[in-house]
Amino acid sequence: MSIADFNPAAEVRGDTLYFDGVSAIELAKRYGTPLYVVSETTVRRRCAAIRSAFLDKYPNTAAVYASKAFQTLDMCRIVTEEGLGLDVVSGGELYAALKAGVAPAKIIFHGNAKSADELDYAVRSDVGRIVSDNLFEIAELERLGALYGKKVRVLYRVTPGVDSHTHRFISTGSLDSKFGIPLDPSVRDDYMRAVLDASHLDFRGFHFHIGSQLHDNFSHLAALRIILKLVADVASAYGYAAPELNLGGGFGVRYLPGDPALDPGYFVDPMMELIRSSCGEAGIPMPLVTIEPGRWIIGEAGITLYTVRSVKTIPGIRTYVGVDGGMTDNIRPALYEAKYHALLANKAGEAEAAPGGAPSGSPVASAAAGAAAALVTVVGKCCETGDVLIRDIALPDPRPGDTLAVFSTGAYNHSMASNYNRIPRPAVVLTRAGTHRLSVRRETYEDLVAREV
């Protein structure tokens, strides 16, 4: 598999990796490393794919981008220009969305422990929907609705009790979860009465999100069957046919060359069919159906560029390649053993030259490229042994000064970045068909102490 087959925005010219038509080496020189590079072209293509596979294909549908995956003002503007709404999960994400000019009606506000201030901010801002999962919040929203003379549009996040096939830290749909309302009949009535009897709440329906980075649709379908039964039960018990159904996100992306490339249709087509048949059987109208993809839109649109700073071989054990970033810009490997693919952007021709164009990281590549592409372990610069970005990847003779490009870092990297060890967070550069521009500047040392009083 060539690198372009793995990621359509990537291409090798000579020995140099190009991303979205821009030389990765030029970007590293111009903006410094570590550097988040985001292909606006890919983001817009992914939004277009959501439109054609879902919004244009099925009437009465909506798609909101789960901005926790990667939220910048530019990103908010790009996805809304492309016809998506925005899912936010904190006052800070709401603030940025509004600052970017996102229409409040297009915003869905999530969170399992929203503060009173956040609820007040969301109601005052007239966000489109607030997704609630506890009775304290329902009481508070009713109070705020009365205070501001508004009807607050509310959905319930429910826990379908489905274990999704993903890392347990990003699995959210099982019964033992901090997210969502359990469907146990002993508690269901309290929740339903609270929201249906409230005079300042407009209950719109149910939401579920079962987990992230899913490579099969079984868990989505299993959860949906359970929620559709709930919708039918609520319709018969309370005479209320919920007009909306929110299916969450979770569509998986490619981190490694062996991962499947899944279209949104793989997830949404069978779900739409199930909703249609179930509503038909229950004699209730088709609801407005919303999806909330985050990772699927931004994950493969991003790469991170690092400079190799050290190469250390421990005879008979392993070779450590130390780069100038690490768990501060990408916590995912340390947090849930996430795997990544990478290559040396200034020696990219060598990985491509391996028979079959096998990307580094595969045993084929290491065998083909011989000693020059031995397996190494890429580590960050933080004072944590667990600061390992990639374990056992074949890189051709890495040397200090080389530029390492790590793929599929668009989602949950920048948004989860920290300042551990007082490391400034990297800049974000947007590329678009051969052009590039700074979107978020690199943090400075001054930024690091700016909040101290």
Ligand X SMILES: Cc1ncc(COP(=O)(O)O)c(C=O)c1O
- Of the pair 292, 329, the CB lying nearest ligand X is at 292
Burial (CB count within 10 angstroms: exposed 0-12, middle 13-18, buried 19+), residue 397: middle
Mask of contacts with ligand X, 109-138, x by CB under 6 A? -x----------------------------
CA 56 – CA 62 distance, rounded (Å): 10
Mask of contacts with ligand X, 86-105, x by CB under 6 A? -x------------------
The stretches of 354-438 forming alpha helices (DSSP H) are: 363-369
Binding of residue 19 to ligand X (CB under 6 A)? no
Binding of residue 295 to ligand X (CB under 6 A)? yes
Which of 36, 251, 340, 407 forms a contact with ligand X (CB under 6 A)?
251
DSSP class of 299 = G
CA 29 – CA 422 distance, rounded (Å): 23
Neighbour-count burial for 431-452, b at 16+ CB within 10 Å, e otherwise: bbeeebeebbebbeeeeeeeee
- Of the pair 251, 255, the CB lying nearest ligand X is at 251
Binding of residue 69 to ligand X (CB under 6 A)? yes
Which of 294, 357, 359, 361 forms a contact with ligand X (CB under 6 A)?
294
# chain residues binding ligand X, by CB under 6 A: 16
- Of the pair 82, 292, the CB lying nearest ligand X is at 292
**158 closest CA partner among 233, 230, 211:** 230
- Of the pair 18, 156, the CB lying nearest ligand X is at 156
Integer-rounded Cα radius of gyration of the chain: 23
- Of the pair 216, 397, the CB lying nearest ligand X is at 216
Tokens of 112: 């399992």
CA 114 – CA 99 distance, rounded (Å): 20
How long a stretch of residues is the chain? 453
Which of 54, 296, 340, 407 forms a contact with ligand X (CB under 6 A)?
296
Expressed in angstroms, the distance from the first to the final Cα of the chain is: 54
Binding of residue 248 to ligand X (CB under 6 A)? yes
CB of 193 to ligand X, least distance (A): 25
Which of 174, 177, 212, 409 forms a contact with ligand X (CB under 6 A)?
212
- Of the pair 87, 350, the CB lying nearest ligand X is at 87
CB of 250 to ligand X, least distance (A): 4
CA 304 – CA 389 distance, rounded (Å): 11
Binding of residue 249 to ligand X (CB under 6 A)? yes
Burial (CB count within 10 angstroms: exposed 0-12, middle 13-18, buried 19+), residue 99: exposed
> How far are the Cα atoms of 269, 313, 325 from residue 361, in angstroms, in the given order?
34, 18, 20
CB of 137 to ligand X, least distance (A): 15
**128 closest CA partner among 46, 208, 202, 209:** 202
Task: Give the residue numbers marked as catalytic.
Answer: 383
Pick the stretch among 47-55, 191-199, 243-251, 419-427 that binds ligand X (CB under 6 A). Answer: 243-251
**287 closest CA partner among 221, 179, 203, 209:** 203
- CB neighbours of residue 219 within 10 Å: 21
Phi, psi dihedral angles at 64 (to 5 degrees) = -120, 140
CB of 176 to ligand X, least distance (A): 17
C-beta of residue 2 within 8 angstroms of C-beta of residue 343? no
Mask of contacts with ligand X, 258-287, x by CB under 6 A? ------------------------------
Which of 10, 24, 43, 66 forms a contact with ligand X (CB under 6 A)?
66
CB of 110 to ligand X, least distance (A): 5
Which of 46, 114, 129, 209 forms a contact with ligand X (CB under 6 A)?
209
Which of 34, 91, 250, 325 forms a contact with ligand X (CB under 6 A)?
250
Binding of residue 292 to ligand X (CB under 6 A)? yes
- Of the pair 86, 411, the CB lying nearest ligand X is at 411
Binding residues for ligand X, rule: CB under 6 A, are 66, 69, 87, 110, 209, 212, 248-251, 292-296, 411
